A and B are shown apart, each in its own frame.
Chain A
Amino acid sequence: MDQETHNGAEFDLDLGWMEKQGEWGTHAEPSKNGLTLADIQVGSYAEAPEESRNLSGRPRGAVPRPGSMPIGNYTVRTKSEIWLENASFLYEEALQRQWSSATDIPWDTIEPLPDDVEQAQCQMATFLTEVEFVAGDVPSRWVSKTSPDFYEARNVLMAQVMDESRHMDVFRKRALANGGGLMRATGATAGFVGGIDLARDFTEMSSRLHLSGEGAVLTIFRMGELMAYNDAEKAIYRLCAQDEARHVAFGVMHMRYMAANAPERREEIESYLDEAEAGMLTDAANPAGQLNQTSESLSIMLGGGRKYFDEGFRKLVSIRKRQLQEYQKRVTSAGFGDRFKNGRSRLGQMMANVAN
């Protein structure tokens, strides 16, 4: 500090900014889970606007600066386009349940497997390495287009991107940990019309990614115990299922909010669901679907080897049914259950043909 060299002269201060502050006197209190995002929803800081006019990256509740440039280029500025009621909870849970694929998986429990089973495991791991990060790339792109006034939803999506990154790496690790290697990719996430990448609307993307895509993978992860051959694989599926459940919950809760707050978009959402259902068993992104590369590897894993393929395939059929049932529950919970009663949904037909 060389202030002596300045003869004790003082700086002039403007201090006009001290009068330009958001709601003052805020005392957010920690709850039993620490100081959560929910705990800081106090006073005007809790109010996410129906339409965001924030184009400059200003934190919600801060005082706007006149003349700020609209540098944000946000296309998602309507609350119903992205909002969900439990975003704060999902975000905090995501932070609490972060895990490490390097140290939280008991890799030393892996032992050599019969070649057919190892190949099946590696094929499935290749597929999951390939598809998991579409669920990272796509939400991250949407975050950059979403007004920070909806930061709670953005936060959950950022936690999802991290989760997907870890999934991508844990399956790569599995493929390279037990005498195998990566096998053939499937192209399941290529830029097809109706694919997750190409959605031009957030809710459309969320219905494809969270509700149908990740929903189907969640069912598989939940059945992970059936296809795990050691504690490492069990841990992988269990931890991934935990993460995936949050992502699916985001989709369900967002759609529920949309159904309640933007009834004019209901028919449009029904169309997304029509499309999702049409691809549920045929789409390559569902590993239990009809693509033989993944369905056969799953059957071998579920049966216990090539020799027990038939037994494994029958289990796979049971899993497909479960995927459809769980999808129905989610869509019903999101407020679109009527489609299963009024004949719009093809789920009944699909259930009857699940073995094909």
Chain B
Amino acid sequence: MATAKDADRVRPALTLTKEELEVEVPEPRLNWMNQWREWGVRVKPGEKGLTLGSLNVGLYGEIPMNWPDRSRNPRGAIGVTGTPPVAIQIKDKVDLWAPCAAELYEEAIQRRWAPATDVDWTAIHPLPEDIERAICQVCTEICQYAIIDVEVITNWQHQMAYGYHEVKQFLATTTLDATRRHEAFRKRALVNGGGLGYEGPCQVSRLLLESSGGWTETVTGLVLVRAMFTQMMIRYLTRFAYNGVERKIYECVTQDLARLITYGIEHLKYALAHAPEKQGSILTTLAIGFRMFNRDLRDPVLREALAIVFGGGIAGARSEGMHVFYEMLDEYVEELLNTCQYLRLPVAIEQLPKVFQKDQRSLPGE
């Protein structure tokens, strides 16, 4: 055991003034000593270091279904009572929990990146003007998505109970991810002779920001509609990347978004398993989300910009590029339906607006 004497070896001296040395020392009350709910905990680092999840041992690992305490008492500590509450509204585990939150939190930290230095910005080269304009437009819209993601999540975070700190902490990583996403795509738009483009339509964003009744419903729109579509778009952009700069950004953003999607799906899974009555509001939110998304897609800007990127220019956009766009949309719908199946949500393709139904969509030449 290390002793106080050992401690002196590692603790440097602080030179006190004469006045400080003569300070009259009050008798300590020490009424805080020997006050704990569980003592003798010794969590050891594992292969991945000392992780947040590994702390969930004994009483510290008991995560109650309800956390009525509206203060910042850490889970497992002796709480203070009688203090004015802070504005915590989400107090039930079912309303925010995902069993993987602690792991995702540590993963986010391990996979941190910096657009300034992790992207080799010198690997970019001038592109034909139509392609550069299209990429800049796509960047503009992804920036806007990221800005809204930050606002949506930060609007909820402070309302979440401290007993579920793993989720609050994970969400802190997602807002930094979204901040970095905005940064990376803004940088890409401004680095290669282009600039930012035209503001995107706002119906899905409106749904996300106005979905203030429940975090689970917000997650439904944020993850199943916005994030999964963005992820699919980035996946296709990776296939059609024009340089190493874009590839690197897409690769890093894909990882970041994957964590948000994982949290979202696992939260919905947890919520549906523990509160099956939530299914109705999740399905309704999803239906509204798709109506909003449909309205956004009626706007040609993002569709045409992506088609130009995928088709290698305006000429290619009119044929191959636009077909790739719809292939991307179909793949997104397929993933969404698979996810709904995993969540046991009864969603069929026929329920979606026609633009999302391959067989119902009218294309030129048909």
Contacts and interface: CB of A to CB of B under 8 A. Distances in A.
Interface of A: 1-3, 6-15, 17-18, 20-28, 30, 33-37, 40, 42, 45, 56-59, 61-65, 68-69, 71-73, 92, 95-96, 98, 100-103, 105, 107-108, 111-114, 116-117, 119, 122-123, 126, 129-131, 133-134, 136-138, 140-141, 143-144, 148, 151, 154-155, 158-159, 161-162, 164-166, 168-169, 172-173, 175-187, 189-192, 197, 223, 225-231, 234, 292-293, 296-297, 299, 302, 304-310, 313-315, 317-318, 321, 355
- Chain B, interface size category, equals 35 or more
Contacts of B76: 181-182
B200 A183 contact: no
A225 B197 CA distance: 51
29 contacts: A1-B324, A6-B323, A10-B319, A26-B194, A34-B116, A35-B115, A40-B187, A42-B190, A57-B151, A62-B140, A63-B198, A65-B199, A68-B202, A69-B202, A98-B112, A126-B77, A133-B168, A148-B147, A158-B179, A172-B52, A176-B42, A179-B40, A181-B37, A183-B32, A184-B32, A184-B35, A187-B80, A226-B14, A317-B20
A290 to B, nearest CB: 10
Given A57-B205, A185-B80, A3 B23 contact: no
Closest 8 pairs (CB-CB, A-B)? A9-B365, A190-B83, A102-B49, A34-B116, A187-B80, A165-B172, A137-B158, A103-B49
Given A57-B151, A113-B1, A11 B318 contact: yes
B7 A57 contact: no
A179 B1 CA distance: 12
B84 interface: yes
Interface stretch (B257-265, B298-306, B346-354): B298-306
Interface stretch (B117-125, B270-278, B331-339): B117-125
B1 A111 contact: yes
Interface string B7-30: 110111010110011011110111
Interface in B195-236: 195-202, 205-206, 209-210
B77 A71 contact: no
Given A179-B42, A313-B25, A62 B85 contact: no
Contacts of A13: 300, 304, 307, 314, 317-318
Nearest to A120: B33
Contacts of B49: 100, 102-103, 105, 107
A57 B116 contact: no
Interface in B89-141: 105-106, 109-110, 112, 114-117, 119, 121-122, 130, 133, 136-137, 140
Contact of A35 (B11, B83, B119, B206): B119
Interface of B: 1-8, 10-12, 14, 16-17, 20-21, 23-26, 28-45, 48-52, 55, 57, 60, 71-74, 76-80, 82-87, 105-106, 109-110, 112, 114-117, 119, 121-122, 130, 133, 136-137, 140, 143-144, 147-148, 150-155, 157-158, 162, 165, 168-169, 172-173, 175-176, 179-180, 182-183, 186-187, 189-202, 205-206, 209-210, 300-301, 304-305, 307, 314, 317-320, 322-324, 327, 363-366
